[in-house]
Amino acid sequence: MVQRTEEAARELESLRTFLRDKEIALNERLPPERELCEELGLSRGKLRKALAQLESEGQIWRHVGRGTFFGPRPVLNLGEVEFLCEKCRPTEVIEARMAMEPQMAKLAALHGTAANFTEMRRCIRLCRSAKDWRVYESWDNNFHQAIAAATCNKLLISLFETLNTVRRSTVWGQLRATRLPPKDHQSFAEHDDIYAAIVDRDAERAAEAMRTHLKSVRDRSYAPLFS
Amino acid sequence: MVQRTEEAARELESLRTFLRDKEIALNERLPPERELCEELGLSRGKLRKALAQLESEGQIWRHVGRGTFFGPRPVLNLGEVEFLCEKCRPTEVIEARMAMEPQMAKLAALHGTAANFTEMRRCIRLCRSAKDWRVYESWDNNFHQAIAAATCNKLLISLFETLNTVRRSTVWGQLRATRLPPKDHQSFAEHDDIYAAIVDRDAERAAEAMRTHLKSVRDRSYAPLFS
DNA sequence: GCCTGAACCATTTCGACATTGGTCAAAACA
DNA sequence: TGTTTTGACCAATGTCGAAATGGTTCAGGC
């Protein structure tokens, strides 16, 4: 039994080193499974197990007929989002978030289920334990997405996914340029406040906590521009 | 000169009667220009002039490589919107509107330009003068879209277009079933209030007026269900 | 019992070709 | 001379079939 898990771990590691060495870019498609089998000297079954592990970690995503891709799964059709990304100034993104997210926090406090709260806790926990700014960003994203899910309103969820995708692309562009520090203790406390208000079913407090958080994010993001 | 305009008018009328007699459905593609030329016995130039007139009236829309279509131009990719229309309950649509539109009214009060205000006035005027519930709905839509445009935030505008398209489809379904009266004096006054607050640059009052309007719409739409 | 390899499936991508609205210039017409 | 028609061309889109891809199943082998 130990033999088997050890072997699986080695296969997983060989896949990870492949991604690192080949310097696969974000959203880039990696070779089809059948080619990767030969390249890594694995059977397709073994390879698929390793890929499944990476997928569960959110490192890659797969789609029948399209391929396997590096990075988080895009939630929406890329065409429109690319269009929006090009046309939007970063200030527009934060303005849109400040318009939408406090209202969604309200609805999350009103309609959220226990499962939604569990997911929020998970995101907060993994946000805190992130050793890398990239992983932190990912779980921060998931936290806000979890709040959207808690509204139990499919239309709002879909709208927020679009907003979030645009946000992610612009933020990532910023991060690559400015190399922000990966850990941000202020955001941790603010996330806690938002979560507490939602679980308490206190809609107004949830909206206010979200507003405070977004203001804080905005000031931190754009303060360097004026200093 | 009179001869020529008379002739153009006759060609335009023959095209209108064609649309009526063939009972072209909403969003249906009508025959390509080259076929229509033969069918109506017009040269392509004449036909295109008549088509341009209908397009300027908003009756049809055209796109290179796709064709000419009956009805208002869809503002977004239909695939996602159709998906959302099927999956959304009407209560979700009004909930999403109550979350987004008051915030957008705020931003419209802050960032709106004179051109935006002129467009809002036009929509309000044409809303009042509408003799048909279908036309009324159309200009009501345009009014809310004008408010979105006044935020000067391309991302929010795009998000609202999606919301508005979903709303339109569900509202149209309702209307066809329940045959609501086309004129609604309460909405007229509410539109005026929203417009006045935005022009006064009073963000909070604009949001409150929008909230009042949406509550009123919600109560009128769903009151019949509980009576 | 488990792994392997191959085959098969549903979905998607890609390329070649036909179609369509937009445009222009020469021909035909008045 | 001025206008309209006609045909041709262009860029963008739809169409359709072949190839590619992830997901699944199953017989064969260790």
Q: Which helix (H) or strand (E) holds A224?
A: helix A203-226
Instruction: Give the residue among A206, A7, A36, A208 at the shortest CA–CA distance from A110.
Output: A206
Nucleotides of C under 7 A from a protein CB: 3-6, 10-13, 19-23
Please check whether strand D approaches the CB of B63 to within 7 Å. yes
Q: Which residues of A touch B158 (CB under 8 A)?
A: 80, 84, 162
The answer to whether the CB of B159 falls within 8 A of the CB of A163 is yes
pLDDT digits (tens, 9 = 90+) for A145-202: 899 999 999 889 888 888 887 787 665 545 443 445 456 678 899 999 999 999 999 9
Question: pTM for this one?
Answer: 0.69
Reported as a pLDDT band with limits 50, 70 and 90, residue B175 is very low
Task: Report helix, strand or coil for B69.
Answer: strand
Nucleotide with C1' nearest the B44 CA: D5
Pairing of strands A60-63, A67-70: antiparallel
Interface test with A, best of B85, B94, B110, B158 (most A CBs within 10 A): B158
CA B155 to chain CA mean position, Å: 20
C-alpha dihedral sign at A51, A56, A61, A65 = positive
Q: Check whether B180 has a pLDDT greater than 80.
A: no
pLDDT digits (tens, 9 = 90+) for A204-218: 999 999 999 999 988
The answer to whether the CB of B132 falls within 8 A of the CB of B182 is yes
Opening angle at CA A44, ends A41 and A48, nearest 5: 110
Q: Which residue is nearest to nucleotide D5 (CA to C1')?
A: B43
In the structure encoding, which two tokens stand for residue A7, read together?
């072997």
- Percent of chain A surpassing pLDDT 70: 80
> Measured between CB atoms, does A163 come within 8 Å of chain B?
yes
**CA–C1' B34–C17 (A):** 20
Residue recorded with tokens 């000419």: B68
The answer to whether the CB of B51 falls within 8 A of the CB of B67 is no
Quick one: closest CA in B to A159, which residue? B159
Q: Residue B71 region, left (φ>0) first, then alpha (ψ -120 to 50), else beta?
A: left
Instruction: Supply the pLDDT for residue B128.
Output: 85
DSSP conformation class of B182: S
